[in-house]
Amino acid sequence: MAGVVAVLVLLAILAWPIGLLIWANGKIQHVEALSDADNTPGTTYLLAGSDARGSGGINDSTSGARTDTIMVLHKPRSGPVALISIPRDTFAEMPDGSGSNKINAAYSYGGAPMLVQAVERLSGLTVDHYVEVGFGGVEGVVDAVGGVRLCLDYDVHDVKSKLKWKKGCHVADGKTALAFSRMRYADPTGDIGRAQRQQQVIGAIGKKVADPGVLLNPVNQVGLADAGLSALVTDTNTGIIDVAQLGLAFRSANGKDGVTGTPPIATVNYRTPSGASAVLLDENQTGEFWAKIRDGEYPAGEKIGGMPGS
């Protein structure tokens, strides 16, 4: 999940004086990310959670960076806002001509620009805004709001994510919320279950941030923005107002008037030519799925896509 949820803290910025807006805008780091693809209708955000070592939340000897989270947030010209989680192990065509691979390999091989192009090829949507947050973002924001209430209906003791969870609902601090959103090896549905938990964390933070006691407190505003923005990277054309608009769209997608889900999945155990296990999308449904996302044709309040029968 990484720190994608951190963007929600920027809802508070809408009520800030101009001086604080300038301060917040200056904290954002920028990277060349967008392609030269023709525009598609509506506004499309690509949100990536980077596990780059040193980005916060994780420190080990692993080199390089990967995307633990890939989400497409699309606001159509009319119709509900959609938040679609693309499993990081989705088998997709690489834009560099090297063939197909797990989609998060695009980020490992070519950073933000290659990931943007890979998602555009997969979805048919042109990315208007790229937003990336390091692992430290989610941990810092959750701690800044005093923890969030999360639920899981089975016990977990996962060595990889370091999540220890007792069946039921509990208030989680930043470290636990990060592990909750990263865990997949102890999840019987793997990447699919992780995407669902990521969206649960997003919703929980959104509720906390929207609380008047948090939203209207200047001290909390600065603390939240500092926690979120310190781990934030956007494309060179995206500024603080764009990110604030993203926060509003995020809330809409996760509310009763939004749409959430994953693309239609054929299997989560596809064996690639190299012998690795990957998520294979349903090629008979994927094109229509993304077209309906683009045009806002899914009914509000629906959870869409996923495995057959889900």
Give the DSSP letter string of 161-198.
TTEEE-SEEEEE-HHHHHHHHH--TTSTTTHHHHHHHH
The reported pLDDT for the residue numbered 295 is 96
pLDDT for residue 64: 47
Q: Binning pLDDT at 50, 70 and 90, where does residue 232 land?
A: confident
308: helix, strand or coil: coil
Q: What is the mean pLDDT of residues 52-66?
A: 44
Q: From CA 139, how far away is CA 152, in angstroms rounded?
A: 19
Q: Which amino acid is at 54?
A: G
User: Between these two residues, 282 and 192, which has the higher pLDDT value?
Assistant: 282
Q: What is the pLDDT of residue 50?
A: 72
% pLDDT > 90, the chain: 42
pLDDT one-digit tens code per residue, 77-128:
999 999 999 998 999 999 998 899 999 999 989 999 999 999 999 999 999 9
Q: Are 25 and 19 within 8 A, CB to CB? A: no
Q: What is the pLDDT of residue 92?
A: 95
Region 276-280 average pLDDT? 91
More confident residue, 69 or 207: 69
Is the pLDDT at 297 greater than 70? The verdict is yes
Most confidently modeled range among 11-25, 167-181, 222-236: 167-181
Q: By the 8 A CB rule, do 234 and 228 touch?
A: no
280 CB-side CA count, 13 A: 12
CA–CA separation, 191 vs 71, rounded Å?
Answer: 13
- Domains assigned to the chain: 4-137+212-306 (3.30.420.590), 139-209 (3.40.630.190)
- pLDDT > 80? residue 73: yes
Supply the pLDDT for residue 301. Answer: 86
pLDDT at 51 over 80: no
Confidence category of residue 281, pLDDT binned at 50, 70, 90: very high
Confidence of residue 135 (pLDDT cuts 50, 70, 90): low
Confidence (pTM): 0.78
Q: What local confidence, expressed as pLDDT, does residue 309 receive?
A: 57
Q: Identify which has the larger pLDDT, 223 or 13.
A: 223
Predicted local distance difference test score (pLDDT) of residue 56: 42
- 300 pLDDT more than 80: yes
Predicted local confidence at residue 275, as pLDDT: 86
In the prediction, which pLDDT does 228 show?
65
Question: What φ, ψ does residue 37 adopt, rounded to 5°?
Answer: -65, 150
pLDDT of residue 101: 94
Report the distance separating Cα 247 and Cα 252, nearest Å: 9
Helix 174-182 and helix 191-210, axial crossing angle in degrees, nearest 10: 150
Q: Which of 49-63, 204-218, 226-240 has the highest mean pLDDT?
A: 226-240
**Taking all residues of the chain, what is their mean pLDDT, rounded to a whole number?**
81
Q: Which residues on neighbouring strands pair with residue 43, listed in sequence order?
A: 75
Q: How confident is the model at residue 201 (pLDDT cuts 50, 70, 90)?
A: confident
| Range of lowest pLDDT (50-59, 181-190, 198-207) | 50-59
pLDDT band at residue 4 under the 50/70/90 scheme: very low
Q: Which amino acid is at 42?
A: G
Q: Give 3-state DSSP helix, strand, coil % of the chain, rounded to 5.
A: 40, 25, 35
